[in-house]
């Protein structure tokens, strides 16, 4: 199965000036663990995860003051929609992260998470045992 079949194409996009609380609230409302951060003044696409928020809170930072741009990963590993989910899982394992931004050319096509991969693999096992 390819990443395009397992990824979430409904993504949350925030800017680097959103506060951590704003980003966390939007992630919570949508039941997702990451937000894609696009800075119109830079070339990159970053990702902010629930772990980034947790680390900031754990460090005693003020979530109403701190901005997403200071607490995200700009050095992102991007998946292609044609990758297999096994390739995505291997990239996550190598990098020690749970989300991959999926790029189709230069456009964000979605995000694939460990949860997405587990859902697909669990469904495949259920079909295989039936």
Please write the tens of the pLDDT for every residue from 41-84: 876 788 999 999 999 999 999 999 999 989 987 778 899 999 99
Q: Which domains are seen in the chain, by residue range?
A: 3-128 (3.10.580.10)
In the DSSP assignment, the letter for residue 62 is: -
**Backbone dihedral angles phi then psi of residue 8, each to the nearest 5 degrees:** -95, 120
List, for residues 99-120, the tens digit of each pLDDT value.
999 999 989 999 999 999 999 9
Pairing state of beta strands 99-104 and 34-38?
unpaired
Q: What does pTM read for this prediction? A: 0.85
Q: How far apart are CA 45 and CA 108, in angstroms?
A: 9
Enumerate residues 6+ apart whose C-beta is below 8 A from 64.
19, 20, 21
User: For residues 19 and 67, what is the distance between their CA atoms, to the nearest angstrom?
Assistant: 4
**Of the candidates 46, 43, 44, 19, which has an alpha carbon nearest to the alpha carbon of residue 34?**
46
């Amino acid at each position: 199965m390819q990443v395009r079949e397992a990824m979430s194409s409904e993504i949350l996009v925030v800017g680097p000036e959103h506060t951590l609380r704003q980003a966390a609230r939007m992630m919570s409302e949508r039941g997702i663990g990451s937000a894609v951060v696009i800075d119109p003044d830079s070339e990159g696409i970053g990702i902010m995860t629930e772990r980034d928020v947790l680390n900031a809170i754990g460090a005693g930072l003020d979530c109403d003051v701190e901005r997403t741009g200071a607490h995200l990963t700009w050095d992102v590993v991007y998946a292609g929609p044609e990758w297999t989910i096994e390739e995505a899982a291997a990239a996550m394992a190598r990098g020690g992260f749970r989300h991959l931004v999926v790029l189709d050319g230069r456009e964000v096509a979605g995000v694939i998470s460990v949860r997405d991969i587990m859902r697909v693999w669990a469904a495949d096992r259920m079909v295989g045992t039936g």
